[in-house]
Amino acid sequence: MSDEFLKNPLSLFDIRGKVAIVVGATGAFGSLAARTLAGAGAHVVLSASRIDELKKVAAECERLGAKTEIVALRPSSEENCDKIVKAAVDKFGRLDILVVASGLNKVSKIVDQSYDDFREVMDANVNQSWLMARAAGRQMLKQGQGGKVILTSSARGLLGHPAGYSAYCASKAAVDGITKALGCEWGESGITVNALGPTVFRSPLTAWMYEDTERAQAVRKGFLARVPKGRLGEPEDLAGPLLFLASKASDFYTGHILYADGGYTAG
């Protein structure tokens, strides 16, 4: 360990001037990821389907001092993924960080769920993560200077769920497999590939669990019995792990799922 490092250990987390793509940038985690990276000094390329919502997130990032580019596309095809990466290179000349924050869940018992719904969840969470990682990886390998790929997993990639999550659990387990495989495949390239695995955190989809209704209180009581930290997650709980995975601090950390879950998966 050099003396220079000891004088400034926080330099490990310095991403100033790095170029980051955030896919799914208008969602609860995606918008937080965009703002976290922007606030830490990165330039951000924001991708999602709704341009009006993208403009709002871009404005927030610019208020934090970041330069931004918006791409009103989802990573739903090879062509779209290539266009998203090209937008980053055209605007900023390179790509250093990819965050895939997009995803989908359709809750249904397996006997009631249509095959089309199952395939839609798998496509959004698995196929699109793979396609986006491939497009970003090609650019990072071409640059020859490493990079950071951060996928979105879940505690449900490790654990089952009794309430109609067969599609979602399967999709997140597959994301874990992609993460581990690419962590091995790109090990010597300088590209790290990791996934952030939250459990319940506050978002429009989970807002009801934070309410003081009888139903929410009952669900929280049962859920929190498994959470050592004794509370539900907040989006801000993902910011620190994200910055770690996006920075030099994680250069020797690859092929892993980092669970930001209050200890839920430790039980």
Instruction: Report yes or no on 38 lying in a domain.
Output: yes
- pLDDT grade for 2, boundaries at 50, 70 and 90: low
User: By residue range, what is the domain housing residue 146?
Assistant: 3-201+234-266
Q: Where are the beta strands (DSSP E) in 93-190?
A: 97-100, 147-152
pLDDT tens digits, 181-215: 999 999 999 999 999 999 888 887 788 888 989 98
Instruction: Report yes or no on 90 lying in a domain.
Output: yes
Q: Is 162 helix (H, G, I), strand (E, B) or coil?
A: coil
Instruction: Report yes or no on 109 lying in a domain.
Output: yes
Tell me the two tokens of residue 79: 């062509």
Instruction: Report yes or no on 224 lying in a domain.
Output: no
- Looking at the chain, the whole-number percentage of residues with pLDDT higher than 90 is 78
Q: Is 178 helix (H, G, I), strand (E, B) or coil?
A: helix
Instruction: Report yes or no on 222 lying in a domain.
Output: no
Instruction: Report yes or no on 160 lying in a domain.
Output: yes
Give the residue numbers marked as catalytic: 168
* Global pTM exceeds 0.85: yes
Instruction: Report yes or no on 229 lying in a domain.
Output: no
